[in-house]
Amino acid sequence: MIIGELKKILITGGAGFIGSHVVRRFVNRYPDYHIFNLDCLTYAGNLENLKDIEKRSNYTFIKGDINDVEFISGLFKEFNFDSIIHLAAESHVDRSITDPLAFVKTNVIGTMNLLNVAKDSWGKNFRDKRFYHVSTDEVYGSLGEKGLFTELTPYAPNSPYSASKASSDHFVRAYGETYGLPYIVSNCSNNYGPNHFPEKLIPLFINNIINNKPLPVYGDGNYTRDWLFVEDHAIAIDLVFHKGKKNETYNIGGFNEWKNIDLVRLLCSQMDEKLDRPKGTSEKLITFVKDRPGHDLRYAIDSSKINEELQWKPSVTFPEGLKKTIDWYLKNQEWLNNVTSGDYLDYYKEQYEI
């Protein structure tokens, strides 16, 4: 088949952590789609995540920035995408505290560029079109000891990152109401699993334990998060994209709350076992550090809607998923070394800068 005969899906941020799992799933599962992976390959985008599918006939990688509106417009004119799954984002809270404007630029202006170009490209013919915006539960702010985030929870972001994602969510909905653009928004809890850049808690601590480095835990470690295995998130995105109702929001969570300190202790225990170290060795690396500003106490998602409407639920328990994650990192230490050293950036040059 030639590309013109296939349904053309643009996935932004497809070389990143979550994006690479979504791209792989769509390329493998839907041979009648042509998947275009648009990524600007910042520090968190890594084409080594997709080496297993890079030669597939229904897959095309495009290096580009969603902040370059002329470039994005040119892509739409050339390929006439049928739908967008928008994952490209700056996502690390600590980085957003240091450089909030970078988050505004990518998460807000970048999303606006995609919305405008999609609206202009599709005109008023929105039949079979879909703008799927992947967001975070952090837009809802912080919970107390009880309660869950639902799709109707008011937005109350507390960090520059979550504020930028909240803004982009609002713009997506506004384009639906004002221009009739068909959209879906999903808000997801913390993801973990293979290919995660080691700045986030779980991959960072796996790498530090391997190298006998301190495990920096914010505050008293009692901050609570809902954790979801990344492959389960990719399955949920697949279902929401294909079966979710137009102009609706779906919360995607793991029904899996852990206090940070309890998670770290479980991780230490599993790592000691995997590395054949005496029990308690890794736990001695835990170091409590000064809390970060605007730190939300607790996130927890009510996923009843996606469960009832689309029959989705997590497929693995957290201890099972954590074991899979640890096993992947231990088997892929070359990937981990390349990422932490910056050598992974050479892969693009080798493969694409001929």
Which residues are catalytically annotated?
A: 137-138, 161
Say if residues 137 and 299 touch (Cβ distance below 8 Å). yes
Q: How crowded is residue 152: how many other Cβ atoms within 10 Å of its Cβ? A: 9
Alpha-carbon gap, residue 267 to 251, rounded angstroms:
26
Q: Is 63 helix (H, G, I), strand (E, B) or coil?
A: strand
The dihedrals phi and psi of 10, each to the nearest 5 degrees, come to -95, 120
Q: How crowded is residue 188: how many other Cβ atoms within 10 Å of its Cβ? A: 25
Q: Name the β-bridge partners of 217.
A: 288
Say if residues 161 and 90 touch (Cβ distance below 8 Å). yes
Alpha-carbon gap, residue 300 to 82, rounded angstroms:
34
Contacts of 270 by beta carbon, 8 Å cutoff, 6+ apart:
319, 322, 323, 326
The dihedrals phi and psi of 138, each to the nearest 5 degrees, come to -70, -15
| Orientation of helix 201-210 relative to helix 318-331, angle to 10° | 50
Alpha-carbon gap, residue 267 to 283, rounded angstroms:
9
Nearest to 310 by CA among 254, 229, 235: 235
Alpha-carbon gap, residue 237 to 228, rounded angstroms:
13
Alpha-carbon gap, residue 188 to 133, rounded angstroms:
11
Say if residues 61 and 54 touch (Cβ distance below 8 Å). yes
The side-by-side arrangement of strands in the sheet containing 257-259 is 190-192, 224-229, 257-259
Say if residues 287 and 215 touch (Cβ distance below 8 Å). yes
Longest dimension (CA), the chain: 65
